[in-house]
Structure 1
Amino acid sequence: MRKRTSTRKHHVLMVAAECRDIATAGGLGDVVRELSKAIHRRGILVSIAMPYYGVVTKSAVSLGKFKVPFGNRSWEVEWFRCTLDGATIYLLRKREFFDGRNKTVYIHSRQHPFEDDGRRFAFFSSAVLAFIQQYAQLRSVDTLHCHDWHTGALFTLLKYDPRYKDLSERVRTVFTIHNLEYQGVRPFSSRIRRRWFAFSDWFPSLYPSLKASGAIHDLRNPKPPLRWFNPMRAAVQLSDHVNTVSPSYALELTRADNPKLNFSGGRGLEHDIARRKRQRRFHGILNGLDHAIHTPSTLRPAFDVTMPGWEKIRMQHKYALIQQLPSKITQFQQAGRLPTWNAKELTTQLSTYHVSEWVARPLVIMVTRAADQKIKMLMEKHHGKPLLEHILHRDLSLLILATGERERILSNIVNLHPNAIFICAFERTLARRIYAAGDLFLMPSDFEPCGISQLISMRYGCLPLVHGIGGLQDTVDHNTTGFVFTGNTRARTRQALLETLDAALHRFIHDRRRWRQMQRQAMQARFDWTASIEQYLALYFDS
């Protein structure tokens, strides 16, 4: 790699599957958007390359077409350009891969995991490299910052495909792990005759050379299925620097999984990650939060910790949300924004809904994904019944806004209790109102690379109650800005959640002075991008 100098004009190209306000499905899109904005504010040229999904609604200008090698043929890809907060967004459109039945950010392949997304993002990886070489304005790129497994094939091509030899020698590469749980594993080759089913179908000329050279060994999945391509591992092995999104999660990834404790560590990649750490090539950099976007000062009525009487204004938001929740749910039902089963359940729930009772109780909230990572602990049996049942038997109200693969399981418990409501939907405006109204934000994740929900909840004065792992451990200060529970066995962890919840409820009811002090401290906490950007710039440009 060439030595970076301080006098030249740098150009960072982000390569990602998501970017907020273009197309996103989770926290990855938030980070790509806010990190690129922060880099631009430092006077550095930053661009983002991502697929032009069929769901994209932002206006973008078509500026031409270019050729992409994939499979046994050359494809013509149309490219579009728009801007966001000073960053140039390049949207690469190929309808076969990113429109029609493939129009959403991710596809849930029912028969073979990652079958659809594996080939879609392999094509995208090839398209990005071809675009860089064919578009003159991207020849100034000196840093490629790639995100999650979706870009693993890019690193493989950049390292081993002779077409990209010159490019590989002039750019520095950084790879960010946002969630190691998803690795995009696909077969290297297969007897199954389905279109672009395996790595050898995507890159038929590269596959034999990888086998002959032995390079294929470092790209293989380290656990069964062993003979499969692991794009996450490829990126970890081949990038100049690897980072993940919090220091504690970085440490966890160097350790093996422990199923008895439900501990998620390196998910089979712990030896690779530990080796990169010994090489000083693996880093934990905490995600930031854009406090200008996530602020209660733009609500109506506005409040913030610096405003006199903010406590009373915040209480107005709690009362308004609880009072207006039935009409909001009815709007969702009438607009068809709820699954039929959830709409029916909520009709039953609202028949016994009493505003005065909900206002009087502590309001515990969850704005989350209904996925094992986020809610598995709540579903586990504790003294003969699900942990969530124990929570709901406390004198509290629980409001959950979520969608995901475990939504029915979650709803089957929540919507049977008069003090709880589960809304199977997501809307940013409603989520913001819930943050502003909640007293406690429950986040019992089994693993959490960084987490953004707890940062937002603190900003709005809703104290987080979190499992002390990953980024939650790095961002929530127990008894100062929130509540943290841990345990050295799974049963003790569940019990610790209940005990910590009881302590928090006791403080809310009996020590409001201390509670408000904690709210102030939480609202004053800052997790901006300033320190994190310095660490990223060191990875980008330091020799």
Structure 2
Amino acid sequence: MHVVHLAAEALPYVKVGGLADVLGSLPRALAAEGVRATVVLPRYRAIARALEPLGEVRYRFAGAERTARVWGDEAGGVQYRFLEVDPDWDAPYAPPEAERYLRFNLAVVAWLEGQAHDLVHAHDWHAAYAVRRAARPAVFTIHNLAFQGVLEPEAFARLTGEAPDAELLEGGRVNLMKGAILAARWVTTVSPRYAREIQTPEFGIGLEEVLRSVAPRLRGVLNGLDMDAWNPATDPHLPQRYDADHLERKRRNRVALLAVLRLDPGLPAVGAVTRLTWQKGFDLVLEVLPRILDLGVNFVLLGTGEAELERGFAEMARRYPRRVAFRAAFDEVRAHRIYGGADYFLMPSRYEPCGLAQMIAMRYGTPPIARATGGLADTVEDGVTGVLFEEASGEGVLAGVRRMLELEAEPLARAGMTRDFSWGPRAREYVRLYEEALR
């Protein structure tokens, strides 16, 4: 079976969010199950890796014939192809976003016509239009329903040469994700609970009725974790490596982390590595952070995002220099050291399609304190590997931290480290979906 994946980002070439982790790991896991995988991405200027020129493909866009240069590479036994539709396209999600990804989709459809393949697997709205136009059956995965690819009908018709029909229109505008949901043989999300949540008004973001209409072919498949890349026994970024049988070594990582950050060495640390957005719920943490500190913990936060939240946490770090550490940056080394050095890991998301951070935290013996939503509820076992709280509020966060401090942390840490979050079982579930789609 040959499956072609279409996406906006993938490791090891370009990464903005968790989608890149999935497209870096899932195709390799599928290859281990005997599925040939090719991943197709836009050719961004930010891709520094040397690529092999493979020719050109012609396609029609905005009423004119266009040419896209095709580049190739291989990583981890997986073929990668890059279509250069705009030489000035620096990185994923740069404006004009809808126009650029429509152009990419049209080039992909033209390129697919010359390729021997069995099935298309498109990821999020950036690859949604190809689901409608591809000649082969398609699986469409919703990684985050909040971003749907919406544009005006006049612009869509001008760019694609297609008059939008009822399957594309939602509220008078073209909705590319809706079109893919209705056209795909299977629609998947990245956790079973999120597949149920998005069929409700609270989480459906206007598409709940559409999703309920395809419920018999809607499936939640939990994302996996690269267990080799995230392994405290071999992690080169940790001052002290450890495993579930040597958790006492983990404490040395906390000592080192707190020493570097100049925080109180006598108190446990609540850590977080995140994007500072409304979805992630850290405005709720900011509301009650002084009261969290009153419970007798340090707080360590690494992440960037909304300017107001960055300013708020920077002010907290100034106000409590021995208790709060905040860095507004992406720092891979510090991220690993927070996972390995914190005592607890905080994830107060308002919604979370899957989430990888809680899996990493459990892998590192750092029990999560998480809101019971989406993939967090599917992976964190309340009172066994971490703590779940229900209410998306400052009081909910505070109650979650308080409850964690009442529990004995070491049994939770050991239990979390024994859980298998690897891609193998998830890849086998996708293989079954592919087989059903082809039938």
DSSP 3-state at the match of 2:194: helix
Partner of 2:208: 270
Superposed, 1:136-535 pairs within 5 Å as 138=115, 140-158=116-134, 168=135, 171-189=136-154, 198-204=155-161, 206-207=162-163, 210=164, 216-221=165-170, 226-257=171-202, 265-277=203-215, 280-299=216-235, 300-306=239-245, 310-325=246-261, 353=262, 355=263, 357=264, 359-375=265-281, 377-378=283-284, 386-406=287-307, 407-415=309-317, 416-418=319-321, 419-487=323-391, 493-507=393-407, 514-535=408-429
Deviates more, 1:408-417 or 1:234-243: 408-417
Gaps of 5+ in 1: 1-9, 110-115, 159-167, 190-197, 211-215, 258-264, 326-352, 381-385, 508-513
Q: Which residue of 79, 86, 106 corresponds with 2:93?
A: 106
CA deviation after TM superposition for structure 1 residue 395, in Å: 1.8
> TM-score, with normalisation over the residues of structure 2?
0.94
> TM-score, with normalisation over the residues of structure 1?
0.76
Q: Work out whether 1:84 is the aligned partner of 2:23.
A: no
Deviations 1:453-509 (A, max 9, x none): 00000111111000001110000011110011114xx5xx543332221122233xx
Q: Distance in 2 between matches of 1:461 and 1:59?
A: 38
Gaps of 5+ in 2: none
CA deviation after TM superposition for structure 1 residue 525, in Å: 1.1
* 1:303 partner letter: Y
DSSP 3-state at the match of 1:106: coil
DSSP 3-state at the match of 1:74: strand
DSSP 3-state at the match of 2:244: coil
Displaced runs of 4 or more, over 6 A:
none
* Sequence identity percentage: 31
CA deviation after TM superposition for structure 1 residue 104, in Å: 1.4
CA deviation after TM superposition for structure 1 residue 408, in Å: 2.8
Closer, same or farther: CA 76–533 of 1 in aligned 2, 3 Å: same
Tell me how large the CA RMSD over aligned residues is.
Answer: 1.7
CA deviation after TM superposition for structure 1 residue 412, in Å: 4.8
Q: Distance in 2 between matches of 1:369 and 1:496?
A: 20
Q: Which has the higher strand share?
A: 2
Q: Work out whether 1:19 is the aligned partner of 2:6.
A: no
Q: Distance in 1 between matches of 2:253 and 2:84?
A: 43
* 1:237 partner letter: L
CA deviation after TM superposition for structure 1 residue 391, in Å: 2.2
Note if contact 1:362-1:505 (Cα within 8 Å) is conserved in structure 2.
Answer: no
Closer, same or farther: CA 35–147 of 1 in aligned 2, 3 Å: same
* 1:199 partner letter: F
DSSP 3-state at the match of 2:214: helix
* 2:93 partner letter: Y
Q: Distance in 2 between matches of 1:294 and 1:412?
A: 29
Note if contact 1:13-1:46 (Cα within 8 Å) is conserved in structure 2.
Answer: yes
Note if contact 1:376-1:446 (Cα within 8 Å) is conserved in structure 2.
Answer: no
* 2:277 partner letter: A
CA deviation after TM superposition for structure 1 residue 234, in Å: 0.8
The number of residue pairs the alignment matches comes to 431
DSSP 3-state at the match of 1:466: strand
Note if contact 1:285-1:535 (Cα within 8 Å) is conserved in structure 2.
Answer: yes
Q: Work out whether 1:120 is the aligned partner of 2:20.
A: no
CA deviation after TM superposition for structure 1 residue 413, in Å: 4.6
Q: Distance in 1 between matches of 2:378 and 2:306?
A: 28
